[in-house]
Structure 1
């Protein structure tokens, strides 16, 4: 019997005792490779020279809708079709290798988006129709660089290439599985998966949480790049899981699909009978000498599965008319954010920001600017385009709330002009509500699994939700959505942070129930889903 989301979440909570008792050493001889390597499949190189997206990072991450604007006009550039160069940008700046460091005789390779433990268990697959060669789709005068034939591909970050899994146009399989108009109309869709063992080697059963944390930070990059290149893009969480897994040739007990991201519009997928496709079983290299299983992960995944596209449509229709999992504002003192306007904000391009982004390993205990904190919060916590989110007035999409399922809470210990203390952030109003004052560095370090980074950070930002409310409204699959909304927001926080020269940030793990107690009584009944810290890097 599948373990439901509330039970899974409860059983995977960290406490000082659980962490102390779980102090097993890691078997580095059995550490899984961070790459999926196909043995029996041909590969297709991507473009080796690209024009990266030049839009400022702070502008690219603010897009709250699939079309990247509050009001959508027919015929605008967002409907144009991606080409091979655009696909290369999308893959490279979301999952490619962007940094190489030499440490103690070892060459360490880091990718575009943050991931727990640098274990890189999330892979990207491309399902597309025929894509024009680079420069051809937008009328460029430079020679076109090849074409990409319709097919199903796996992105290989080591070689910046695509492994060919299927030849032919299979976009209709995703359209049938999702019952989603954006997927049915997209020239290409990107599917994110998690290979459980590649993360569970270190993190065990919490990997099911990490699947959405790490795919969320990656997809935050993907959305930003797509919108910077003027393509329609959104995250689709509702789809029949098995047909998508079969299309990719993966077995969910080992590797499962998490999200679908349709890119572009105006190219309807061909109809494919719902009966499915012929199975494939690609031969891949072993991840490690001895792969281990974690049944709780599989049970949590199975509890939230959807069987058909019609069921996915029905599930999406269950979205509520008011925010769930969150808490109403109180009567605490309000502090209005002071973000800089677009004209004076940092102009660091998105591609430079992604390449600069890291995970800060040490903070100086020096305060950061309130205006910069305000700007990062204002741009990052506007809500990401997902198929399941709270809908406002459909005639005025800009009135939709920024966040539907999670609440941001802050521990502030070093911000110029902002009193140290504990705050509840209300993104729709652009205000921080002060819950209590005082310096809480010791508490911040303790809550962050007794890590010094938490104590030294200028700001610790927690996303909390009420799992019981989420599951009651959206079933076990709603748990995935809440985790993902937090992670997408955190991914945008990363980009907003590293758009500023003197800021650094990183995500940390936490003691679940102690975080709830710390933010009580406001957070009573809520539980943390993500912790992001920010400060001055040392």
Structure 2
């Protein structure tokens, strides 16, 4: 199985002389609909709190903030509004499209969210799908009394279960065989967006391992007839007051949930779809089995206030992906070091504690950072012991410590702008920012633990990307994730003789150039407020 995953990874690499197998050109007639909806399902509208009602930005990364909010319609509405909702509409001529709080490759959004709610929000427990276009829950099932009571008894008080699933066709329409990577990147972005939004409510987000992914398909209702485009469960999350240990879900509860009578029919997203055999194959290979219950150490870091007075929620909702950068603006070294501090798991339990031990380090291309020489740098986030960093890499790397506080090492000095642009498929944006980076994952070590660890490397990269987006916005700058890069050219730069490290995601931050021909419209036509008591 590990060899088959390696084969997919090799097949889906881009090279200077050829790209990974893809459609070649976009077939606009088969572009997937931007939203999954369930026709005939009862709609439960959610509320939106004004963005001025917000906690400080810096504090949410240190751990759940304050006392846990009670689980009710208002808190649930806030969580989804701050993590998975629409943030704005863009309009150009006759074209109109939505932007969302959580980023996505090509704004295609393969990630869908499902909620398993114990009694309280309504009399019965609920299985619901979140519809971001309406900011509402589509009620797929109302749990009968005994099953609702069993769910309530299984969950710690004050929380609920949230399932994340992917529709691979959304990404494959544009990216072909490489789409599996992008689905997993997006899953990581969604995980981080949920963790940050939950922390503002005093809640914890943790990935549950006690339900196999194939079984989770049934629990979320994704194995039923009617799905023209396949949709598959990726992760089941606990969202609620912090817990020290994962709890078990009884097989009879899972059986009962999988046997529910469901309401609503899934919409067809495209009139036709093309199948990518290796994409479908790797998806089957990497589904996680049931795992032993995990310890969840209650990690809380000392909150570092780098952005005093900056409110969280406006920043979450104005996050954008830059399409181009000015190529001139620079930053101070202190700001870059603050960003890198935020990426260290020990400094930011939110969102990084949700996945456990870090597996990703960063290779930085420093372009315009006053107080730091241009060149190539390495940030050791804990994927390997610092004494082992140099093993198997270029002999001429300097490994000079560049910070007293952080494990940041200077590898090479010099202008790296052309190199960063070339490695990112020749995209100028990687050279025109203040800094660019490649996320290097412990590939061999992950596969030794099982093929299902492969997508989780991308989840961690997506989490890193989401934090970088927020840090850029907090500084009045912009970021963008770069999914197109020449994989093996990055590895050749490092002179790796093996596959212990693999580059899985690129990113850049700088001052964006915005297209002023586009009109920005509000996310929702009106602000829906909870009724006054």
User: TM-score when scaled to structure 2?
Assistant: 0.80
Q: Deviations over 1:3-35 (max 9, x none)?
A: 732222111111122229857110001100110
Residue 379 of structure 2 corresponds to 425
Match of 2:268 among 286, 292, 301: 286
Once residues 35 and 285 of structure 2 are traced to their aligned partners in structure 1, the CA distance between those partners, rounded to angstroms, is 28
Change (3 A) 1:416 1:241: same
Residue 374 of structure 1 corresponds to 337
Partners of 2:23 and 2:176 within 8 A in 1: no
Residue 396 of structure 2 corresponds to none
What SS does the corresponding residue of 1:313 show, helix, strand or coil?
A: coil
Residue 190 of structure 1 corresponds to 162
Q: How far 1:167 sits from its partner (Å)?
A: 0.7
Once residues 235 and 502 of structure 2 are traced to their aligned partners in structure 1, the CA distance between those partners, rounded to angstroms, is 23
Match of 1:494 among 443, 449, 469: 469
What SS does the corresponding residue of 1:347 show, helix, strand or coil?
A: coil
Match of 2:67 among 65, 68, 77: 77
Q: How far 1:517 sits from its partner (Å)?
A: 1.6
Q: How far 1:224 sits from its partner (Å)?
A: 0.5
What SS does the corresponding residue of 1:215 show, helix, strand or coil?
A: helix
Residue 107 of structure 2 corresponds to 118
Once residues 285 and 39 of structure 1 are traced to their aligned partners in structure 2, the CA distance between those partners, rounded to angstroms, is 7
Quote the RMSD (CA, aligned, Å): 3.2
Runs in 1 of length 4+ with deviation above 4 angstroms?
Answer: 20-23, 48-53, 169-176, 183-186, 266-272, 279-282, 385-388, 521-524
What SS does the corresponding residue of 2:82 show, helix, strand or coil?
A: helix
Q: How far 1:260 sits from its partner (Å)?
A: 1.9
Q: How far 1:346 sits from its partner (Å)?
A: 4.4
Residue 490 of structure 2 corresponds to 515
Instruction: Please identify, of 114-123 and 19-28, the stretch whose mean Cα deviation from structure 2 is larger.
Output: 19-28
Listed as ranges, the gaps of 5+ residues in structure 2 are 297-301, 383-404, 514-533
Partners of 1:171 and 1:188 within 8 A in 2: no
Alignment map for 1:194-343 (pairs within 5 Å): 194-236=166-208, 239-251=211-223, 254-265=230-241, 273=252, 275-276=255-256, 277-278=258-259, 282-307=264-289, 311-313=290-292, 342-343=304-305
Please state if 1:96 is matched with 2:85.
yes
Once residues 149 and 495 of structure 2 are traced to their aligned partners in structure 1, the CA distance between those partners, rounded to angstroms, is 48
What SS does the corresponding residue of 2:204 show, helix, strand or coil?
A: coil
Q: Deviations over 1:192-218 (max 9, x none)?
A: 111111111001122211122011112
Match of 2:419 among 428, 437, 443: 443
Once residues 276 and 341 of structure 2 are traced to their aligned partners in structure 1, the CA distance between those partners, rounded to angstroms, is 39
Once residues 471 and 148 of structure 2 are traced to their aligned partners in structure 1, the CA distance between those partners, rounded to angstroms, is 33
Once residues 207 and 60 of structure 1 are traced to their aligned partners in structure 2, the CA distance between those partners, rounded to angstroms, is 32
Q: Deviations over 1:154-190 (max 9, x none)?
A: 00111111111111276899999xxxx9x66662121
Match of 2:137 among 144, 158, 162: 162
Residue 117 of structure 2 corresponds to 128
What SS does the corresponding residue of 2:24 show, helix, strand or coil?
A: coil
Instruction: Please identify, of 157-166 and 239-248, the stretch whose mean Cα deviation from structure 2 is larger.
Output: 239-248
Q: Deviations over 1:378-404 (max 9, x none)?
A: 1233253456523xxxxxxxxxxxxx2
Q: Deviations over 1:453-504 (max 9, x none)?
A: 01212111211113222111x2011112211112112111111111122x11
Once residues 114 and 527 of structure 1 are traced to their aligned partners in structure 2, the CA distance between those partners, rounded to angstroms, is 23
Residue 349 of structure 1 corresponds to 311
Change (3 A) 1:535 1:55: same
Once residues 294 and 500 of structure 1 are traced to their aligned partners in structure 2, the CA distance between those partners, rounded to angstroms, is 41
What SS does the corresponding residue of 1:95 show, helix, strand or coil?
A: coil
Change (3 A) 1:442 1:35: same
Residue 397 of structure 2 corresponds to none
Once residues 28 and 164 of structure 1 are traced to their aligned partners in structure 2, the CA distance between those partners, rounded to angstroms, is 32
Once residues 492 and 90 of structure 2 are traced to their aligned partners in structure 1, the CA distance between those partners, rounded to angstroms, is 40
Partners of 2:125 and 2:142 within 8 A in 1: yes
Q: How many residues align structurally?
A: 468
What SS does the corresponding residue of 1:233 show, helix, strand or coil?
A: strand
Once residues 512 and 4 of structure 2 are traced to their aligned partners in structure 1, the CA distance between those partners, rounded to angstroms, is 40
Once residues 37 and 188 of structure 1 are traced to their aligned partners in structure 2, the CA distance between those partners, rounded to angstroms, is 22
Listed as ranges, the gaps of 5+ residues in structure 1 are 69-75, 133-146, 320-339, 391-403
Residue 333 of structure 1 corresponds to none
What SS does the corresponding residue of 1:530 show, helix, strand or coil?
A: strand
Residue 73 of structure 1 corresponds to none
User: TM-score when scaled to structure 1?
Assistant: 0.79
Partners of 2:2 and 2:450 within 8 A in 1: no
Change (3 A) 1:259 1:466: same
